[in-house]
Copies of this chain bind each other. A is one copy, B any other.
Amino acid sequence: MPINNRQIIYANTPSPAIDPSLTSGTFKLNTTTIPDNVPADKVLVRVHYLSLDPAMRQWLTAKRSYIAPVERGAVMRGQSIAQVIGVGDSVKSQYKVGDWVIAYSGWQEYALMSAKEAQKITVPPGCQPTDAMSVLGMTGLTAYFGMMEVGQPKPGDTVVVSGAAGATGMVAGQIAKIQGAKRVVGLAGSADKCEFLRKELGFDAAINYKDKDWKKQLKEATPEYIDVFFDNVGGEILDACLARAARDSRFAICGAISQYNAAKPQGPASFMNVISQRVMMKGFIVFDYAKKYPVALKDLGTWLSQGKLKRKDHIVTGGLESAPQGLVNLYAGVNTGKMMVEVAPMNKVIGRQAKL
């Protein structure tokens, strides 16, 4: 019997902010059917958790970027944690019903996928399938390569992370500490997040950038200036950190979430310090380090099991149709940790939250 499949379609270009309304906004709901006879080279998966990522806003803009934009009328692109519910004849050696996969399914409840698009997850002891989308997935890997390859913190260094309570930022700060940084300072958007960074994750200082005097606090928290800056935010925060750049510092430019919805992006006004302090700034994309994923995942898995690295997920429980509002909330910074949408529950998930 064919399966009814609800999906979220990219309908209208944001102008410039995402409008979460499913009747008149950026996205709309659609229902299709999927035949229940699975083609020989495919697997049929049921989506459980959708990843919400800061980069998604960029995917909706038709500009030259690291990835082609999502086309209007197509299912919204995104990773998910999904479970195999049907296996085609020619891939039966690779999958069985019940396997967990990380899939480029997009925003829908079910998907027919090729073996390339649905990667089987091995869940290490003490871990859960959703980790493959956060600390042992793209966000953890992004933090890993941004720190280890670009920022390269050394013992004695002062390291600052923006968006520090986000999925990538919290891992980045913890890696800096593991690498022997002297001071790790996080910037986040609420007092609760800052307390979480200090008390739960062991950051040396955490600053709420919504405080009026946050720049003064940043100055006080970096008495020896900033050796490594891991930036997820851009804009005014990048500017303030550039003004505190130490000689020969490294700025790992991971994201610029403050600018993604901006009609007119701002560059860093303290750019002159790039010269006077010989700052090296480098943008990076996790995909460029694909050959090194196995080593990185081994390190991250070891640190996680040793308790040196702590995980935190923020799970939105309103079903598929919560995804657009969830994405808007991600840009508003409501989350602490990796944000994902629960499309279908799974047993024993650590960190489930109230609806949105």
* A residues lining the B interface (CB < 8 Å): 58, 63-66, 234, 238-239, 253-256, 259, 264-285, 288
Contacts and interface: CB of A to CB of B under 8 A. Distances in A.
Nearest to A254: B275
Contact of A272 (B259, B269, B270, B277): B259
Given A264-B269, A265-B269, A276 B239 contact: no
Contacts of A234: 271-272
Nearest to A247: B66
B278 A64 contact: no
Q: Which 10 A-B pairs have the closest CB atoms?
A: A267-B267, A275-B283, A274-B283, A267-B268, A65-B276, A280-B282, A267-B271, A281-B281, A267-B269, A278-B283
Contacts of A66: 275-278
A264 B239 CA distance: 13
Most chain B CB atoms below 10 A, which of A239, A269, A282? A282
Contacts of A264: 269
Contacts of A274: 253, 281-283
A271 B58 CA distance: 14
A272 B258 CA distance: 11
Copies in the complex: 2
Given A278-B288, A280-B280, A281-B282, A268 B271 contact: yes
Contacts of A268: 267-268, 271
A60 B74 CA distance: 57
B271 A256 contact: yes
Contacts of A266: 267, 269
A269 B277 CA distance: 21
Given A278-B283, A280-B283, 10 more contacts: A234-B272, A238-B271, A255-B275, A267-B269, A267-B270, A276-B285, A278-B284, A278-B285, A279-B283, A280-B280
9 contacts: A65-B276, A234-B271, A265-B272, A266-B267, A274-B282, A274-B283, A275-B284, A278-B284, A278-B285
Contacts of A270: 265, 267
Nearest to A281: B281
Contacts of A259: 271-272
Contacts of A275: 66, 253-256, 283-285
A124 to B, nearest CB: 31
A306 to B, nearest CB: 32
Given A281-B281, A281-B282, A64 B276 contact: yes
Contacts of A279: 282-283
